[in-house]
């Protein structure tokens, strides 16, 4: 039997294998994973998925579906949106499989090996802020997963394209140095385009970082900049709430969150202007180091 040819993407904390006969999907992958050279498929992959085309005869347009271990995990997307389907689907699978780590729902950026964690619920501007910080000279580790090795307390990068939605596409796109992938209009989450992390961050994708600062961002249009320090207990509670697996990890998760809280300073930051937020974060970071 002929095995599917998997394209292997080493994104740091995980190796992804994806097979697809859809040429447009591979062209989109080339754009949002521009530094990934073809890698031999000779090692364990954390996820292996297929993105397969549906029937050409479907009246409302051909679709793409996402398969993992012989099952279709999500409802199909339109064929031209195969890449967002792959990105969301594979992130979902990773969130189920990386429970050896404490998984925060957070953006992570770093200066050298000292990291800033931005934990937040969807819709708080975490992805946009992570991308803006990356464009302001920070090393990009992730816009989605704060992956903590519970033995060492270090953060593992997962350098993947970051999905910008609706207005964020223009806000990030007009900043100097920004590289965005194709625009996918009117997906189920609105318009989506992916921010492509820079080459230096990509090359550092196996370089771990030490948590130094935690900022809980809350973007509200027109809101004044407001930065409040959080005490250790409040920070620990909120880290637990912004985790994929804090509850599932039980005592190990509690210990990891407490240990993390002891090594960082934590703030809550509400803002309406991205540049003010970046200046504030830069100042906080200088104070902590």
Could you tell me which residues are beta bridge partners of residue 145? 105
Residue list 101-160, contact with other proteins (CB under 8 A):
105, 122, 127, 144
**Burial environment of residue 252 by CB neighbours within 10 A (0 to 12, 13 to 18, 19 or more):** middle
Judge contact between 197 and 145, C-beta under 8 A. no
Which of 97, 202, 109 has the alpha carbon at shortest distance from 160? Answer: 202
| Residues 6 and 18 sit within 8 Å (Cβ to Cβ) | yes
C-beta closer to other proteins: residue 68 or 227: 68
Neighbouring C-alpha atoms within 13 Å toward the C-beta of 46: 20
Complex with other proteins: residue 103 or 284, whichever CB lies closer: 103
Q: How far is the CB of 91 from other proteins (least distance, A)?
A: 3
89 vs 211, beta carbon nearer other proteins = 89
**Closest of 138, 134, 104 to residue 264, by C-alpha:** 104
Which one of residues 249, 264, 266, 280 is an interface residue with other proteins (CB under 8 A)? 249
Smallest gap from residue 199 Cβ to other proteins (A): 24
When the beta carbons of 104 and 280 are compared against other proteins, the nearer one is 104
**Per-residue interface string for the shown chain with other proteins, residues 13-52, x marking contact by CB under 8 A:** ------x----------------------xxxxx-x-x-x
β-strand partners of 106: 119
Both tokens of residue 142? 């992730």
Under 8 Å between Cβ of 201 and 112: no
Residue 176 phi/psi, 5-degree rounding, is -60, 135
The span from the CA of 83 to the CA of 93, in Å, is 15
> Shortest distance, CB of residue 137 to other proteins, whole angstroms?
25
Least spacing, CB of residue 78 vs other proteins, in Å? 12
Residues 53-112 binding other proteins (CB under 8 A) are: 67, 69-72, 74-75, 77, 85, 87-92, 94-100, 105
Among 244, 267, 271, 285, indicate the residue that binds other proteins (CB under 8 A).
244
What angle in degrees, to the nearest 10, is found between the helix axes of 251-263 and 232-241?
A: 130
Can you give the binding site for other proteins, defined by CB under 8 A?
Answer: 1, 3-4, 19, 42-46, 48, 50, 52, 67, 69-72, 74-75, 77, 85, 87-92, 94-100, 105, 122, 127, 144, 163, 188-189, 244-245, 247-250, 252
């Amino acid at each position: 039997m002929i095995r599917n040819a998997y394209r292997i993407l080493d994104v740091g904390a995980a190796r992804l294998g994806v097979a697809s006969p859809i040429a447009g999907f591979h062209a989109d992958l080339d754009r949002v994973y521009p530094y990934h050279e073809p890698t031999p498929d000779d090692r364990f992959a954390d996820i292996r998925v297929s993105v397969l085309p549906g029937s050409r005869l479907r009246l409302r347009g051909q679709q793409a579906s996402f398969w993992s271990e012989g099952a279709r995990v999500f409802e199909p997307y339109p064929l031209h949106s195969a890449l967002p389907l792959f990105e969301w689907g594979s992130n979902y699978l990773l969130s189920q499989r990386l429970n050896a780590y404490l998984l925060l729902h957070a953006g992570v950026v770093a200066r050298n090996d000292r990291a800033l964690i931005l934990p937040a619920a969807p819709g708080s501007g975490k992805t946009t802020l992570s991308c803006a910080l990356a464009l302001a000279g920070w090393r990009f580790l992730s816009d989605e997963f704060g992956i903590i090795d519970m033995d060492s307390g270090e953060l593992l990068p997962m350098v993947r394209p970051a999905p910008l939605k609706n207005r964020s596409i223009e806000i990030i796109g007009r900043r100097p140095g920004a590289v965005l992938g194709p625009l996918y209009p009117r997906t189920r989450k609105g318009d989506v385009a992916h921010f492509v992390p820079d080459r230096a961050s990509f090359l550092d994708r196996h370089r771990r970082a030490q948590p130094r600062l935690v900022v809980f961002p809350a973007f509200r249009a027109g809101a004044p900049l407001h930065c409040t320090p959080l005490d250790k207990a409040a920070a620990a509670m909120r880290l637990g709430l912004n985790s994929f697996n804090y509850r599932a990890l039980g005592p190990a998760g509690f210990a990891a969150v407490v240990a993390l809280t002891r090594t960082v300073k934590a703030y809550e930051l509400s803002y309406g202007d991205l540049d003010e937020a970046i200046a504030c974060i830069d100042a906080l970071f200088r104070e902590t180091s």
